[in-house]
Amino acid sequence: MALELNKHAPLPLRFADLKLDIAPKDEDSKRHFTEAWNDLLVQLRSAVDKIKAEGSDMIPQVEFADLQNLKPEEIENIKRRGTVLVRNVVDNAQAAAWKFELENFVKVNPVEGVPEDDKQFFQHYWTRPQVQARAHPNVLNLITWLNNLYHVKVPTVDRQFAVNEVQKGVELATPLTYADRFRIRHPGVQWNTHPPHIDGGGIERWEEPTFRSCYKDILNGNWKNHDSYNLASVFRTFQGWLALSETAPTQGTLKVFPDVLLSSAYLILRPFFRLKEDRTSDDLLDQANWELDVSTPDFPGIFERDGVFFGPRLTPASHPHLRLEESMTAVPSVKPGDMVFWHCDVVHSVEQEHTGKEDSAVMYIPAVPLTPQNLSYVARQKESFLRGIPPPDFPKGAGEGSFIGVGKETDVIGEIGRKAMGLAF
C-alpha cells in the first residue's frame, strides 16, 4: 500500500494555525488524545474485519410496515450503521410506473444531464413522478421516522446559547421536502464520479465553530461519547433514494462504510496524526507507527481547487485505517419502491461498475426536518417549483417549466405533503 498523504497542493498555512488551535496543549491532554486515537485504530481493525466478513448483511433492512414495531436494539443498530434499507415504502407498480414516466420525460424533452452523449444523471427536479413521490404519504412517514432518530441536545453550560438558538422552531415531527435529481444508469457504463466521500461540509467541520462543536467529544479525546444524532448543524438528517428498478450489488448501486461512529471519529482525528518516520512495526496500520503531529496544514481528504476547498474525499492512501477497498459495502438488492437512507456523515460512494442487464434507476429524496433555516429554504424552493426552475441549491438553468410531464401544484396531495413543500402552513 502506498501512503501518499497529500498529492494535491498543500493547504494554506492558516490551516496549520487552525490545527494548532484545536489540538490539545498540555502533556496530559496530549496523552489522552493519543490514547483515544490508538483505541480508535484498534476498534477500526476489528470493525473492518467484521464488515468484510458480513458484507451487505451489515446494512440493516426493515419492512416499511414494521417501522413502528422495531426493538430498541434494532433502532440502535440502524443508528450505529448509519444506513438503512426500508422495503416496500411505495407500491411496486407505482414505482415502476414512475420509472416509465421518467423515461418518457427524458425522451420527449430537451433534458440536461451527464454524460452529455448518453445522459443518465439528470439535472431535473420537477418531473411529475418526483413531485408525486416527495409528497407520497409513506415517503413522508418514513422521513419523519428518520428525523426522529435525531434529537436536540439538552443545553449544557458551555453551549447554552448555541443550543437554544437551534431549539427554537425545530419540529422533528414535521418533514420538509428537499428537491433533488434522479438517475437512470445504464448497464456496462463505467461511473467514476462518486468515489468515497461525505456530503455537506468539508473543512468547515474543523474551521467553523458551531460545526466543530458537533465533534467536540471527538476532539476532546472522548470519541465514544460522540453523538451523531444531535441536530445542531444538520440540514439533511439522511440522504436517500427511492429505488425505481431492481438493483443488486455490482449493478451500480450505493456503497457505504457501515459504522458512522467509527468513521466520523477517524475522519475528525486523522489530520492530527501522522505516520512516523521510524517505524517500529512492519504493519503500517499499527498504532505504534503513528504519532501526534500538528506541524503541517494538511487535512487529509480536503483539497483546494481555485481557492475553493472541497472534500472530504477519502482514499485508501489518505485514510488507510478505514481499509476502504475492503470496507465499502454495497447496499443489499433493492426492488422498485424500496428506499435507502444514509446519515449525513456516512462515507459513501457509487459502484464504478454496473454489471447488470437493466437500468439502475433512483430518485434522490433526502430526509429534512423542520428547522427555521430549512423552512426558509423551502419557501425559496417553492418559488422555484412554481416557476419550474432549478431549486436554490442547484446550478441555475432555464428550467423545465414548459416541458411535457412536469409536476404541478395539484400533484402535491395531502396536508403533510403540501406543508412539506411550503404550499400550506
Q: DSSP states of 132-179 as a string?
A: HHHT-HHHHHHHHHHHTT-BPPPP-GGGHHHHHHHHTT-EEEEEE---
Closer Cβ to Fe ion, 39 or 199, answer by number: 199
The Cα 274–Cα 5 span in angstroms is 9
- CA atoms within a 13 Å half-sphere pointing along the CA-CB vector of 158: 5
Closer Cβ to Fe ion, 312 or 407, answer by number: 312
- Contact call for residues 196 and 260 (beta carbons, < 8 A): no
Pairing of strands 83-87, 61-63: parallel
Closer Cβ to Fe ion, 81 or 419, answer by number: 81
Closer Cβ to Fe ion, 103 or 199, answer by number: 199
Residue 200 CB, nearest approach to Fe ion (Å): 8
Residue 285 CB, nearest approach to Fe ion (Å): 26
Stretch of 82-90, 116-124, 194-202, 365-373 contacting Fe ion, by CB under 5 A = 194-202
DSSP single-letter state for residue 1: -
Count of beta carbons in the 10 Å neighbourhood of residue 132: 20
Residue 193 CB, nearest approach to Fe ion (Å): 10
Using rule CB under 5 A, residue 393 touches Fe ion: no
Residue 263 CB, nearest approach to Fe ion (Å): 14
Closer Cβ to Fe ion, 199 or 293, answer by number: 199
**What letters, b where the CB count within 10 A reaches 16 and e where it falls short, cover 382-403?**
bebbeebbbbeeeeeeebbeeb
Residue 313 CB, nearest approach to Fe ion (Å): 10
User: Edge to edge, what strands does the sheet with 182-185 contain?
Assistant: 61-63, 83-87, 339-343, 238-243, 360-364, 182-185, 121-122, 113-114
Stretch of 13-21, 63-71, 191-199, 229-237 contacting Fe ion, by CB under 5 A = 191-199
321 CB-near residues (< 8 Å, 6+ apart): 41, 44, 45, 266, 285
**Cell 475522519 -> residue:** 267
Stretch of 93-101, 168-176, 181-189, 199-207 contacting Fe ion, by CB under 5 A = 199-207
Residue 241 CB, nearest approach to Fe ion (Å): 11
Closer Cβ to Fe ion, 199 or 291, answer by number: 199
Residue 168 CB, nearest approach to Fe ion (Å): 30
Stretch of 193-201, 214-222, 283-291, 297-305 contacting Fe ion, by CB under 5 A = 193-201
420 closest CA partner among 392, 378, 387: 378
Figure out which of the listed residues 199, 286, 293, 393 binds Fe ion, where binding follows CB under 5 A.
Answer: 199
Judge if the upstream peptide bond of residue 115 is cis by omega within 30 degrees of 0.
yes
Residue 175 CB, nearest approach to Fe ion (Å): 21
Per-residue CA distances from 247 to 188, 201, 243, 253, 349 (Å): 14, 29, 8, 7, 16
Closer Cβ to Fe ion, 273 or 342, answer by number: 342
Residue 26's Cβ-count burial label (10 Å; 0-12, 13-18, 19+) is: exposed
Stretch of 11-19, 111-119, 196-204, 258-266 contacting Fe ion, by CB under 5 A = 196-204
Closer Cβ to Fe ion, 40 or 198, answer by number: 198
The Cα 387–Cα 414 span in angstroms is 21
Residues in the chain: 425
Q: DSSP states of 183-226 as a string?
A: EEEPTT----S--SB--S-STHHHHSHHHHHTTHHHHTT-GGG-
- Contact call for residues 143 and 368 (beta carbons, < 8 A): yes
Residue 420 CB, nearest approach to Fe ion (Å): 22
Residue nearest to Fe ion (CB): 199
Number of residues that bind Fe ion (CB under 5 A): 1
Residue 387 CB, nearest approach to Fe ion (Å): 27
Closer Cβ to Fe ion, 64 or 191, answer by number: 191
Closer Cβ to Fe ion, 199 or 304, answer by number: 199
Residue 268 CB, nearest approach to Fe ion (Å): 18
Closer Cβ to Fe ion, 199 or 217, answer by number: 199
Stretch of 24-32, 197-205, 211-219, 248-256 contacting Fe ion, by CB under 5 A = 197-205
Residues in contact with Fe ion by CB under 5 A are 199
